[in-house]
A and B are shown apart, each in its own frame.
Chain A
């Protein structure tokens, strides 16, 4: 471990254990502008020699310890899969970008037909790829976030209060995503996005266990759906609201997350095999969530290098997909992209 700093004993042990299991080195880096949840820059994803966990400079105590614990777990999962040469993430190709963007376009058209105030065509076109990559980011994050948090909870009892604070904060920030775009994002995607976060939060509320994490208690827009009676549901128009629909879809997604994760023995002796099994569970949850959202064809399991290369080609993929969807009609707009 490079970068000396005061660390509580369980965290030091975890860092040493991670380095030993993976035969690698981890550096800790404080940065004033770091993400609140920290960042892991690892050698299994990027072309670098060792691994760096970056956290906000103002976190001097247990808040940083939790970030380190979470990212060590993430590193163990990635590393265990990479050592078997099986580490893959959800990437995209020119073909899959077209599939996803076309589907979003068709759904957007359906929504737009019902709207009085139509979205300007230019904006609608720009939204397609933004929304597509948004789901790519989220699907590469949410299942793993649930797994990391469950693992940290079971393995590091002394930082549970810190964990709860971090999760509650993260949950609120995640639910705030897309809020400003609610009126322009096709309803289906707004709902699916919120539903994924809802499911993760419900899973963690059950795992920790912490009622305060339940979105119907923690998220202002969902509070009205707590203890909603059947009669009320029938006599009001709750079912028409995006947040209620998010809850319904989210409850189904919770089952998708809960089923495989419910079978994990979190107390098992940590080994590369164990973390590789967690990786496989993460892949299964991801696949099942994608199937549930009918997005299985949107993404493809590839090496992290593939995703980095796809990011480099994203403008080209977007342009080609738009050309395929709109034909010659799009020429002027493409010049503005």
Chain B
């Protein structure tokens, strides 16, 4: 079980990251990590900020730290695939992306990155399958978001 305080700090960090206030988000994530270094989510979230700010190597390092704590952390595999994509390591990105999508088949972003990387290594048919899955999920999420808006 993660420490309650760490979870709360991460929640605050996410709110900043959503508003693209990455410096503030990072500060909260770092506090959370130092408070509970065994909670993989902190590393995954910090990795996503690193990716947004172009610090891909650091993002990869954080994903690997998260995976050393939990080999089945789908988000860590997903962010790792994205980091590897930016570093143009497409073969490795495909492996990470495949793992991410097998652990969590509902991650539209992971399917899309997998599609892009498969396209890069010339596996066009497989890329189309990944894109198709990504699109299905994106549409479901979009419809859900629309209905939520209408209900409000």
Contact = CB atoms under 8 A, between A and B. Distances in A.
A61 interface: yes
B131 interface: yes
Given A58-B141, A61-B131, A62-B131, A4 B86 contact: yes
B134 interface: yes
A32 interface: yes
Contacts of A158: 128, 131
**Interface SS of chain B: helix, strand, loop or mixed?**
helix
B135 to A, nearest CB: 5
A58 B141 CA distance: 9
Contacts of A6: 82, 85, 112-113, 116
Interface residues of B, number: 25
Contacts of A32: 18-19
A60 interface: yes
B134 A62 contact: yes
A7 B116 contact: yes
A177 to B, nearest CB: 15
Interface residues of A, number: 17
A8 B113 CA distance: 9
Contacts of B139: 63, 165
Contacts of B18: 32
A161 B119 contact: no
Nearest to A31: B20
B119 A63 contact: no
B40 interface: no
A59 interface: yes
Nearest to A59: B138
Nearest to B136: A161
B115 interface: yes
Contacts of B86: 4
Given A6-B112, A158-B128, A61 B82 contact: no
A9 to B, nearest CB: 5
Contacts of A4: 54, 86
A8 B135 contact: no
A207 interface: no
B138 A60 contact: yes
A4 B83 CA distance: 12
Interface string B102-116: 000000110111011
Given A8-B119, A165-B139, A61 B85 contact: no
A7 B82 CA distance: 12
A61 B112 contact: yes
Nearest to A57: B18
Contacts of B128: 158
Contacts of B135: 61-63, 161-162, 165
A34 B43 CA distance: 29
Contacts of A58: 141-142, 145
A62 B112 contact: yes
B109 A61 contact: yes
A225 to B, nearest CB: 25
Interface string B82-126: 100110000000000000000000001101110110010000000
9 contacts: A4-B86, A58-B145, A60-B138, A61-B108, A61-B111, A61-B131, A61-B135, A62-B112, A63-B135
